[in-house]
Amino acid sequence: MENTKPTISVVIPVYRAENILHELYSQINESFKKINIAYELILVEDCGPDKSWEKIEEICRENHHVKAIKFSRNFGQHYAITAGLQKATGEWVIVMDCDLQDNPKEIYNLYLKATEGYDIVLAKRQNRQHSFIKTLISKLYYKTLSYFTNSNHDSSISNFGIYNKKVTDAFCKMGDSSRNFVTMTKWLGFKVAYVNVEHDKRFDGKSSYSVKKLMILGADTILYFSNKPLYITILVGFIISLLAISSGIFSLLKYLGYGIEISDYRLLSISLWFLSGVILFAQGIIGLYIGKIFDKIKDRPYFIVDKYIHINEDRSSRG
């Protein structure tokens, strides 16, 4: 079994999970024993403040099919996913969270669906175990993301799913330095199916994704994946200019028709509104070009790796 090429790679970003990891590994291992499919488990530790790495080292000593990556600092969940995907060797790749809200028992159902001819099978979470406020914020977040990125984002769907190796290879080749796994895989355009799964309660602790972090991720995704904010800026500038011109014409007609003089203050206000609109319009057009250049010139590594276990070393990556 040591040299058996895995059919499935399981990639899991890890952050603040020291009390979860052994249970997570145990459930994944039991799931694969039941379905009798060769697998590898890749744990990517995102340099959290707890002892997650020490727990990962213990698991790796128990099982050489478990591989591990430790970042030099906290880079973020989607960069951790990218690091794991780059090292995955299975024909299929499962991506899931480390908190056990994604139940390992669903792996087999996802795999069965994938064998029907789909390239991506996503878990559609039923009865989400989140508070009303967090669920509402999540729905608003995904609706906003859908509008600005011109793609359909469902709040019941996250990273949990199974992906053909050709999908993950294509994802890794994308040069976007701002990584958002769900948005980028949607852009790839492969054949997608969905499987309903139960959303379990978090095994321990609480989510590290605060509302602030969610908003920052959303803003970053929108600005990097969409030019729509720039088009909105152009539209606002155009509307302001149009209103200023309309106001000027209205004042001129009043003066010509009724002899009502136009005050210097009004003329100044109209001029300021008009010029502001023209400036916004021009900035929007320039911004479109700068945005295109900005997308190309960023060339920093996605992440820096501090340590590997059971993986060939390559401590930085651009994809």
Q: What is the pLDDT of residues 58-79, one digit of tens each?
A: 999 999 889 999 999 999 899 9
Span 199-216, average pLDDT: 63
Q: Which residues is 197 bridged to in the sheet?
A: 125
Span 275-296, average pLDDT: 74
pLDDT at 165: 95
pLDDT at 305: 94
Q: What digits encode the pLDDT tens for the residues 47-56? A: 989 999 999 9
Reported as a pLDDT band with limits 50, 70 and 90, residue 226 is: confident
pLDDT at 101: 87
How far apart, in Å, are the Cα atoms of 301 and each of 176, 185, 226, 270?
Answer: 11, 20, 22, 49
CA atoms within 13 A on the CB side of 182: 23
Q: Which residues is 67 bridged to in the sheet?
A: 42
pLDDT at 283: 78
Q: What is the C-alpha to C-alpha distance for residues 76 and 318, in angstroms, rounded to an integer?
A: 15
| pLDDT at position 206 over 50 | yes
- Helix (H) / strand (E) containing 95: strand 92-95
Reported as a pLDDT band with limits 50, 70 and 90, residue 1 is: very low
Span 111-132, average pLDDT: 83
Span 100-126, average pLDDT: 91
Q: What is the C-alpha to C-alpha distance for residues 301 and 310, in angstroms, rounded to an integer?
A: 22
What's this model's pTM, rounded to 2 decimal places?
Answer: 0.75
Tell which wins on pLDDT, 292 or 181: 181
Tell which wins on pLDDT, 31 or 224: 31
Tell which wins on pLDDT, 204 or 192: 192
Contacts with 268 (C-beta within 8 Å, 6 or more apart), sequence order: none
Q: What digits encode the pLDDT tens for the residues 238-273? A: 887 787 777 778 777 776 776 666 565 666 676 777
Percent residues over pLDDT 90 in the chain: 39
Least confident window among 91-105, 168-182, 204-218, 266-280: 204-218
Burial status of residue 73 (CB atoms within 10 A of its CB: 0-12, 13-18, 19 or more): exposed
Tokens representing residue 156 in the block = 């019941």
| Closest to 169 (Cα-Cα) out of 13, 1, 9, 46 | 9
Q: How far is CA 112 from the centre of its chain?
A: 26
Span 205-226, average pLDDT: 66
| pLDDT at position 278 over 90 | no
Average predicted confidence (pLDDT) for the chain: 82
DSSP string, 77-89: HHHHHHHHHHH--
